[in-house]
Structure 1
């Protein structure tokens, strides 16, 4: 699949809406409302419960100067171009497991979940019949200008989907808390988004919870920093990012994945949308033993 472009996937692989689910839009409705209604339904039945529109300039204008992670808009309507941010909560897991256990090509894929994500989102976009570019959250240098990756957390903040707590690198959804994943943004060149910009979300965490979350982050990165006293005089994760320090490596996360789960548990213990056990383990470790239906 070409980077940043929609894969060629037959729309026939997607279920069609039953008659009771089909709604007639007024003839004067903007085109983006028709696309959004169709895409939300198609993505939902594949396990993607987050599908929120934005004008691409909301994201581009929020990228700090010099970071170079904006998405190019080569044609009209420019900054008003329609973009759709796509993500999932725990409801993706049974859809993915069913597909994995019935599809040998997924079983032989280097990363079955990323492959499933790309197939589904690409097919849903293709089914609209409109040209689209797709930028993937799991790909490096996925067509963004100059930067190493697309900042989907920043985009979610700009679109009013979630509050981005940069001190912990957690995005907090009003309904799902930290228990969701941002997968891609679909850009429909030539289609103007005329919806109103949402009011920015406020940080839902109080000061003591923020401190506890930061402590959990430090514990995940270094087991010797397991008490609040270690917070004194040290940079938080957001400061390290802005000063050029890197995120934890994939190897570090896999070797200490339970501590990274504790980071997400820290703000909302026992959250109703917390990932189930095997989904959690696979999310952090990629252990394929978690992908068999008879274990669920």
Structure 2
């Protein structure tokens, strides 16, 4: 349903320009939260049933927010800050770069142009994409939870699994994602243990 991958804020800040840094000490404990394909049936549909008479703006975002609120209630003695994937600063800059957070936590490998030696794209701008070793592209990064009062100096970093090792497959992945992302073919860059249902894909 949800997968939680621990990290330290310092790992995230270390690979980004200062303008993107999170304002916490480096050893602050954080979790990247992603939703697996089963989230739709196990969490989203029940949430819709509970909220059937209420006005829903963005049902998926509200469902995730509901579950993050429940998560916070499990740790009443700690200060937990939740940063959602859709949150922006007033200047429209994302509050957190989810794909970077996923990579540094070891949750999913963030494939970027720099991962393709002698790339063929010239001056074209190419966006990167995260691929999960179990779910391929059939998942979503939903939030970063920061335990602002918890330090984890001994937490060891998990290296994300490079599940697309060949140059040719990386080129194919990035081209599918950048040029034809709507058809979803990039999600099937590797055999996934679980995929979105037809309803969820629609």
TM-score (normalised: structure 2)? 0.82
Q: Is the 8 A contact 1:87 1:183 kept in 2?
A: yes
Match of 2:100 in 1: 154
Cα distance between partner residues in 1 of 2:178 and 2:85: 25
Shift of 1:61: 1.0
Pair 1:186–1:62, CA change in 2 (3 A): same
Shift of 1:58: 0.5
Q: Is the 8 A contact 1:52 1:161 kept in 2?
A: yes
Partner residue of 1:184 out of 143, 153, 156 = 143
For residue 79 of structure 1, give the secondary structure of its aligned residue in structure 2.
coil
Q: Which has the higher helix share?
A: 1
Aligned residues: CA RMSD: 2.3
What count of residue pairs does the alignment treat as equivalent?
A: 186
Shift of 1:90: 0.6
Shift of 1:83: 0.6
1:238-272 deviations in Å (ceiling 9; x for gaps): xxxxxxxxxxxxxxxxxxx3x2x12222x12x533
Cα distance between partner residues in 1 of 2:174 and 2:141: 22
Shift of 1:128: 0.9
Q: Which has the higher strand share?
A: 2
| Higher Rg of the two aligned structures | 1
For residue 157 of structure 1, give the secondary structure of its aligned residue in structure 2.
helix
Pair 1:200–1:141, CA change in 2 (3 A): same
Q: Is the 8 A contact 1:83 1:185 kept in 2?
A: yes
Shift of 1:214: 3.3
TM-score (normalised: structure 1)? 0.57
Pair 1:214–1:196, CA change in 2 (3 A): closer
Q: Is the 8 A contact 2:33 2:141 kept in 1?
A: yes
Match of 2:186 in 1: 263
Shift of 1:200: 4.8
Partner residue of 2:4 out of 17, 38, 51 = 51
Shift of 1:148: 3.2
Match of 2:169 in 1: 209
For residue 26 of structure 2, give the secondary structure of its aligned residue in structure 1.
helix
Unaligned stretches of 5+ residues in structure 1: 1-46, 222-256, 282-296
Shift of 1:139: 1.6
Match of 1:71 in 2: 22
Q: Is the 8 A contact 1:109 1:115 kept in 2?
A: yes
Between 201-210 and 270-279, report the one with greater CA deviation.
Answer: 201-210
Q: How does 1:1-296 map to 2 (within 5 A)?
A: 47-48=1-2, 50-65=3-18, 68-73=19-24, 78-94=25-41, 95-104=43-52, 108-129=55-76, 130-141=78-89, 147-167=93-113, 169-193=128-152, 194-202=154-162, 204-220=164-180, 257=182, 259=183, 261-265=184-188, 267-268=189-190, 271-281=192-202
Q: Is the 8 A contact 2:134 2:193 kept in 1?
A: no
